[in-house]
Structure 1
């Protein structure tokens, strides 16, 4: 009974913490859809393998949302026809490269200037790596099928039915031609579309929070912090802790402050860099963007890269 109460408390904390940012993200995506119908400006973003992800990462400075809120914005970028590298750069880097997270990191660790520089730099390098790896996959193997169809038509899902999008499913129906000049959709339609998107993402978020709360209850943090002084095991344990606790990037620095003195510098950086990209609640939200194979590749590549980064920091600072 005590474990059930603990799991319920953890679940509530995760959900209450993430829902406002998810709502902000859906609001930003809906506003962009209303102000820029057709997304012509998105297709003008850089397609260069390096400049594209850097541009996407730079967009994070203007958006005060954590990783949960960035998912609907990244989906809007992809659906509107933004270059793949730019959208992926935003998805993976913006959870750290935004004003709230940068300010919270500074507030939690004002006496560790190396961390204030290393966290955004590590997040940027990780985003560049993941964008480069995922761009090797064809879009058909990378993106969720519904998102892929919406991206191909560069118009909202609400305006064209799924059967009209997929030629050959029913009587080889051809998709409707794109209008020469997209018109601004009615505000009521935008609000309805945004509400459906929020509810769909909220359902995935709830599922992720349930899984994270269950795992946290069954796997006490003390086990993971017990090896905090070992150069390699500390990095691995804090990476696992980041995935399990699934706390938003806007407050994870304050959580890390509670055990920073018990762990190595590389483990601390690994916790702050990996969590905003891979955690239990995020894996569910990614399903509206990526196919399962792409999510697995993202998790594996991020894990290896952050492990190497943490090890390198320990070699330099220990």
Structure 2
């Protein structure tokens, strides 16, 4: 892979701007939803009522995708707020992984791009739910301390109900059933508008800086690696799935418009490869990998990457066996 020349740098800059302009509105929506949730339910009592069942928990979180439309960039701040306010881990992870596809905008765009492929309209949301269940079960094999970064873990422990977290776990310095410290009480009170705006702005700037890095990497790699290279093995049952998975990571296009991009090469690839492209991109791509550092430690990110790659590959292979 050669170092980009002047014209390629211009292309990198154009692609970078396109990716950023596409992602920023959804990041803003995600931060706005997270800020509104903090204002409406500062103690997280409603969120803590979500099911903790190993199956119903992730399914309930996935169902939130219909009510809280966010793509793979915007769902990160929302999922982080769910975790910080003490929502069950399964429900929070179910939302994180399934919401970018169960978004009504994404479902409508998929239908608009592929009205003649009813199997795709069914298998895309169904596959995203299966992936969310698999990744949730996989990540919950780690303890919360091993999965979540320290700042989020501390917020989450402060938001846990007394029945699920001891005062020692809350790092309040109190033992037994004594009254919570003034800091904990203040943290649970309804925040003022100024506090909400300050918190939302800081979260947007933190996530925005990570998004800038991800968009830069995605634009550079997307420019240097010709897209035709991924489509060269379009009819090979296994290689087509792997190549379209890699393409989904590289192009880093938003899940709200990825169906229209896929429409351009749908006739050149296997059905399993097409589905793999539409399943993997909404979960992970080059621009969103850095965002996950706000939710998971490195071990969690690596485990998630391994899990989603295997799950999507198996789903794509299964579909090719059925339809080819």
TM-score under structure 1 length normalisation: 0.93
Cα deviation for residue 188 of structure 1 reads: 1.3
State the secondary structure of the residue aligned to 1:65: coil
3-state SS of paired residue (1:17): helix
- SS state at 2:122 partner: helix
Task: Please state how far the C-alpha of 1:144 moved relative to its aligned partner.
Answer: 1.3
Q: Hey, what's the Cα distance between the residues in 2 that align with 1:282 and 1:192?
A: 24
SS of the residue corresponding to residue 95 of structure 1 reads helix
In 2: Cα distance, 1:180 partner to 1:300 partner:
40
Which position in structure 1 is the counterpart of 2:148?
A: 143
Question: Take 1:20 and 1:309, find their aligned partners in 2: how far apart are those partners?
Answer: 31
The answer (yes or no) to whether the contact 2:84–2:156 under 8 Å persists in 1 is yes
Q: Taking structure 1 as reference, are residues 191 and 225 closer, same or farther at Cα in structure 2, changes over 3 Å only?
A: same
**SS at 2:73's partner residue?**
helix
**Residue 132 of structure 1 aligns with which residue?**
137
Paired residues of 2:26 and 2:71 also in contact (CA < 8 A): yes
> How far apart are the structure 1 equivalents of 2:208 and 2:44?
25
Matching of residue 215 in structure 1 with residue 234 in structure 2: no
2:82 corresponding residue in structure 1: 77
| CA shift in 2, pair 1:196/1:114, >3 Å | same
Aligned to 2:248: 242
Task: Give the count of matched residue pairs.
Answer: 304
- 2:305 is the counterpart of 1:299: yes
RMSD: 1.7
Deviation at 1:181, TM superposition (A): 10
Partners of 1:209 and 1:22 lie apart in 2 by: 13
Q: Which residue, out of 38, 49, 62, partners 1:33?
A: 38
Equivalent residue in structure 1 for 2:29, among 16, 21, 24: 24
Structure 1 residue 5 displacement after superposition: 0.8
Q: Confirm or deny that 1:200 pairs with 2:212.
A: no
Shift of 1:219: 1.1
CA spacing shift, 1:134–1:185, aligned 2, 3 Å? same
Of 45, 51, 67, the residue aligned with 2:50 is 45
Question: In the alignment, is the contact (CA less than 8 A) between 1:270 and 1:307 conserved in 2?
Answer: yes
Change (3 A) 1:218 1:74: same
Maintained 8 Å contact 1:211/1:280? yes
CA distance in 2, matches of 1:16, 1:97: 22
Contact 2:69 2:99 in 1 (8 A): no
- 1:171 aligns with none
Matches within 5 A, 1:1-318: 1-154=6-159, 178-179=184-185, 182-318=188-324
Q: Secondary structure at the match of 2:100?
A: coil
Q: How far apart, in 2, do the equivalents of 1:316 and 1:114 lie?
A: 12
**How much does 1:189 deviate?**
0.8
Q: Distance in 2 between matches of 1:273 and 1:267?
A: 10
Unaligned runs of 5+ residues in structure 1 are: 156-164, 169-173
Give TM-score, length-normalised by structure 2. 0.91
CA–CA distance in structure 2, aligned partners of residues 167 and 154 of structure 1: 12
Instruction: State whether residues 74 and 91 of structure 1, in contact with CA within 8 Å, keep that contact through their aligned partners in structure 2.
Output: yes
- Whether the 8 Å CA contact 1:166–1:175 is kept in 2: the answer is no
Report the CA distance between 1:178 and its aligned residue: 3.3
Conserved? CA contact 1:225–1:262, under 8 Å: yes
- Structure 2 distance, partners of 1:63, 1:149, is 25
Q: For 2:128 and 2:188, locate their aligned partners in 1 and report how far apart those are by CA, in whole Å.
A: 36
